[in-house]
Amino acid sequence: MATENPAETAAEPPTDCADDLAYDVFARDCPSRDALKHVTDRWGSLTLGALLDGTFRFNELRRRVQGVSEKMLAQTLHALERDGLVHREAQQTNPPRVDYALTPLGHQVARQLQLLIALVEDRMPQVIEARERYDARHPAG
Amino acid sequence: MATENPAETAAEPPTDCADDLAYDVFARDCPSRDALKHVTDRWGSLTLGALLDGTFRFNELRRRVQGVSEKMLAQTLHALERDGLVHREAQQTNPPRVDYALTPLGHQVARQLQLLIALVEDRMPQVIEARERYDARHPAG
């Protein structure tokens, strides 16, 4: 949108994305919004990032993704598996053992996510400075 | 970590990231984790994506980011402003008018995020297929 006041001149955007065969996270009911959420929410992003390092068992992942609860990690892996990003493989061992790994699609997405994570980590000194400037201008009262 | 069972052989990772001057989102208390969260949570990611199109007033942004409440958009903009990603400018007009735009840092981060969003949107047919396969294997009961 290149107009000066896009919201005033543009027609109401569609609320889903099925009609034009294009997926659009800005559309309220587009399933891409959920998929993006699974990839980028706190535990989803850290889980995908961890799995870039290889195959992990559940408890290994829990140690790597610090602070995640058992329940939240299970939910996260479930959503990523359903979206086709994570492959879950139960090994026929005694005791039984379940491995989690990225699918090829999950690898593509995790690599792109990793670039974002690396950028944010790299720019943290600027972010910290900005926070200090902001807090100095807006003292808690 | 290239070992087969990293969690068993590696030392406990640090829970913050101040000591070694490197920011690490996997560390529980690292401030980069919050910054990443502000960038990638549902409304943060959509707000940054919208602002790639230019400068918006509050209500214009609300229409663009479908489904966001006034309160959530205000909180989102507040966090992004504090992190130095969004610039808020109050115009001396009558009625007063507040514009929101990306800072140069916000532009870098939003562009990287946009690549991730574009990838997820592009791969949605595969995600939808994966969901259908998963649901066929796991009928709700």
Q: Which residues of B touch A27 (CB under 8 A)?
A: 66
Residue B102 has what pLDDT? 98
Cβ separation A130–B32 shorter than 8 A? no
Q: Which residues in B79-117 are b (16+ Cβ under 10 Å) and which e? A: bbbbbbbbbeeeeeeeeeeeebebbebbebbbebbeebb
Which residue on chain A is closest to B48 by alpha carbon? A26
Hey, which residues 65-94 in chain B have their CB within 8 Å of chain A?
Answer: 65-67, 81-85
Specify the pLDDT at position A93.
86
Residue of B nearest to A3 (CA): B54
Strands B86-91 and B97-102: antiparallel
Q: What would the DSSP string read from start to end of chain B?
A: --SSSHHHHSPPPPS-SSTTS---TTSTT-HHHHHHHHHHSHHHHHHHHHHTT--EEHHHHHHHSTT--HHHHHHHHHHHHHTTSEEEEEE--SS-EEEEEE-HHHHHHHHHHHHHHHHHHHTHHHHHHHHHHHHHHS---
Domain positions in chain B = 15-137
The pLDDT assigned to A21 comes to 65
A-chain CB neighbours of B85 within 8 Å are: 127, 130
Mean pLDDT, consecutive 10-residue stretches, chain B (141 aa), reads 42 58 84 92 92 95 92 96 96 88 97 96 95 90 51
Q: What is the CATH number that goes with domain B15-137?
A: 1.10.10.10
Give B34's contacts in chain A (Cβ within 8 Å). Answer: none
In this prediction, residue A1 carries a pLDDT of 38
Tell me which fold the domain A17-137 belongs to: Arc Repressor Mutant, subunit A (1.10.10)
Confidence of residue A13 (pLDDT cuts 50, 70, 90): low
Which of A35, A53, A133 is facing B120, going by the closest CB pair?
A: A35
Residue B82 CA to residue A125 CA, distance in Å, equals: 13
pLDDT tens by residue, A67-78:
999 999 999 999
A105, A108, A131: residue with CB nearest B83: A131
Distance to chain B for A23, nearest Cα, Å:
5
- pLDDT, one tens digit per residue, over A17-55 is 755 568 888 888 888 989 999 999 889 999 999 999 999
Nearest CA in chain A to B82: A131
